[in-house]
Amino acid sequence: MQYGHFDNEKREYVIDRVDLPTSWTNYLGTEDMCAVLNHTAGGYLFYKSAEYHRITRFRANAVPMDRPGHYVYLRDDETGEYWSVSWQPVAKPLDEAKYTCRHGMSYTVYECEYNGIKASQTMYIPIGTPVEVWDIKLENLSARPRTISVFSYAELAYHHIDMDNRNFQMSLYAAGSSYAGGVIEQDLFYEEDGFQYFAATFEPDSFETLRDEFIGPYRTETDPLGVERGRLGCHTELGGNQCCGLHKQWELAAGQELRFAFFLGEGRREAGLAVRQKFLADAARDEAMAALRALWDKKCSALQIDTPSDAMNTMINIWTLYQSEVNVMFSRFASFIEVGGRTGLGYRDTSQDAMTVLHSNPEKCRQRIVQLLKGLVSEGYGLHLFEPEWFEPQKQQSFKSPTVVPTPDKASMIHGLKDACSDDALWLVSTIVDSVKELGDLDFVDQKVPYADGGEDTVYDHMKTILDFSARMVGAHGVCQGLRADWNDCLNLGGGESAMVSFLHVWALGNFIELAQRLGRSEDVEKYTALRSKVIAVCEDQLWDGKWYLRGYTKSGRPIGTDADAEGKVHMESNTWAVLSGAAGHERGISAMDAVDEYLYTPYGLMLNAPAYSKPDDDIGFVTRVYKGLKENGSVFSHPNPWAWAAECKLGRGDRAMKFYNALCPYNQNDMIEIRKAEPYSYCQFISGRDHTKYGEAHHPFMTGSGGWSYVAATRYMLGIMPDFDGLRIDPCIPAGWDGFSVQRRFRGAVYHIRVENPGHVCKGVKEVYLNGEKLTGQLVPAQPAGAECQVRVVLG
């Protein structure tokens, strides 16, 4: 069953049927302000931090679903009937009213047509101005004049989400409101600069700042008393639940169109007046939207593909890039599942996210890399979850407010080894190398960066610190210790030994050695090449089970992921990384990935492990206490799926890689929403596995590393466009049935038009490479001068 369609020309997903089985969300904003909104205008707005600087309230996992939101009500003042521009909250019957939602790149449009009135509400946050704009258009389709009242509504939060949700003595008695000059100002009294405004392009006829007056007793957003009456009560109050309600009555002649806007932002009334003036003219708002589109034009143009797969074209050219960008911009803790109850940077998450969009957002990726380096402890492990602001100069308030973002002292900030995750910092090594390859700035590695616990080193020496830490932290079998956990938090093996981390160590070492070779640092090349060989030998000796690789050893020395195990026999992480890291030889790699296909493949993607665990076993970890088919216990966990695509490409099996790609690809599930339920334009954290009654249902969109890794695996491994120190290395691994494909890639300021031909219908193997008609030796296309456009022809065979 379909609920909507992809509009690739506009880079939008159009929801034609809004009575979706679950919320389909989008992200507004590209800088400090962000809104998470769903297809019916439910959601919330925050500034920099979803935990400590929430602007609007949101009742997560509540009934009614996904409220409140950022709503615009319309009322026919002749009859008293009212409805909302978004389908919710009033929810007119869909056989009487036509509703559509269009999610675009950093904007969303709600459209309705009811009772002879056509309306739209375009939501976005302009570049350079932290304000949420609600751009409204009305059109009278009827043959007679109409009197229509318009009402805005959003419930304002008390910034600090924990106090806002639990400590009502704070939120109810320490926020107040005032109204003047058509602008509502909210004062968060316990914060020195805690002010928010709500304004409009018109002079309101009435206003309301108190939620309980706008909604009325024993009512909800569906039937607000203020809208029903047709006029708001014009209340202000120091204390209470605050909202932003502005009302205007409009006279529309037959066929007349009308346009105006609301503005929700940070600052005092004067800031609201300035923003109103700035965006008062329709042309000014059009210009802001044009700038937003131009930003995404530039990002998207960094890499555009044309392959025989419509699914891959749509996802890579638009949606997977977009999802990856959202993760880099806003971290992982702002969604309808993680609603800001924690914030900051997850070390492993951000280390991987910063690798994914180096070509389209190099500045933000580099900022994240430096923040992560500052979050590294001098012993060599990363702070698992930290606030980058901890390591920046602190702004001092003139009084000690109970609502400011806390800055812990060093003793509580720098957690010990017992709380360290063994994989966290290893991801950063490869991300740094990737960033240098993309940008070509080798001097970055010699910049000095402080450690979280004091002292400083060059970026290059930070990398050595990370690699040396993993070399020290090994268990009885010589395999890397799991510490608190590795990538799979739920399968911690009691802190035993992790095959995945040893393979990640091999991968990080390989990338570091490349960098050291390029820098001519021969002593490090020799030292770390020997270390890599030693780690590979341990992996091959201690982790091979005969057909596939173990997942590791428990603290008691018990092997996990063996052919003898009745449950948890095959695990995806260890087998994919054995191949992807280069540790596994070809024969063992083929056998390991055949086991992944045999035991883990489903039509919805690869399960994380199988058979699922059914009996608690604390020697293995919390995963055995997770329901079968959910999360880490036998679900289709999306994040590691692309590791399997990349591993199959390393083995030269493009058909298998494409089989795995197609199974997980959200685009391919657009016509089965009754099963998938979640967005078909976003990878989700996991899909219920075959042991669960909801087999095939997807959960937790957007904020998952599966978006970024899907982008990397598809572009660098399947399509084979891999940045290198001196140019682009081209080594595709595609389905044998493809005749070829084309890619436009921006790299260091030059544009490469790449055409790959596959006359022999092979999966892998580059026969010839031509640059502007001249045949090259090997697969490396040398970096061209900034501003150049070049033609690259690649023949497989």
Interatomic CA distance for residues 463 and 607, integer angstroms: 32
Interatomic CA distance for residues 327 and 355, integer angstroms: 11
Token reading at 290: 């044009």
Token reading at 369: 């890399």
CB 554 within 8 A of CB 560: yes
Residue with tokens 């258009």: 137
Token reading at 478: 């010589």
Token reading at 391: 């390591």
Interatomic CA distance for residues 661 and 757, integer angstroms: 21
Helix (H, G, I), strand (E, B) or coil at 521: coil
H helices of 485-631, in order, are 499-519, 522-542, 572-580, 586-600
Q: Which of 77, 205, 489, 655 is catalytic?
A: 489
Token reading at 379: 């012993």
Interatomic CA distance for residues 416 and 727, integer angstroms: 41
* Longest Cα separation, the chain: 85
CB 577 within 8 A of CB 504: yes
Interatomic CA distance for residues 193 and 187, integer angstroms: 9
DSSP for residue 203: -
Per this entry, what is the length of the chain?
797
- Measured from the Cβ of residue 556, the count of other Cβ atoms closer than 10 Å reads 9
Helix (H, G, I), strand (E, B) or coil at 287: helix
CB 727 within 8 A of CB 759: no
Q: Please, what is the angle between helix 459-472 and helix 426-439, to 10°?
A: 150
- Measured from the Cβ of residue 166, the count of other Cβ atoms closer than 10 Å reads 10
What is the distance of C-alpha 302 from the center of its chain? 19
Distances (CA, A) of 794 to 375, 607, 658, 725, 746: 42, 35, 20, 20, 17
Please indicate whether residue 489 is annotated as part of the active site: yes
Interatomic CA distance for residues 593 and 242, integer angstroms: 57
CB 329 within 8 A of CB 347: no
Helix (H, G, I), strand (E, B) or coil at 380: coil
Closest CA relative to residue 128, chosen from 29, 274, 199: 29
Interatomic CA distance for residues 177 and 242, integer angstroms: 7
DSSP letter string over 740-767? EEEEEEEETTEEEEEEEE-TT--SB-EE
Interatomic CA distance for residues 256 and 271, integer angstroms: 32
- The helix or strand, by DSSP H or E, that contains position 673, with its residue range, turns out to be helix 673-676
What is the distance of C-alpha 452 from the center of its chain? 26
Closest CA relative to residue 362, chosen from 747, 727, 719: 747
The CA-to-CA distance between both ends of the chain, in Å, stands at 41
Interatomic CA distance for residues 93 and 382, integer angstroms: 53
DSSP for residue 317: I
Beta partners for 136? Answer: 121, 260
Token reading at 691: 């042991």
CB 522 within 8 A of CB 529: no
CB 92 within 8 A of CB 123: no
Token reading at 621: 């970890």
Amino acid letter, 54: R
The residues annotated with a catalytic role in the active site are 489
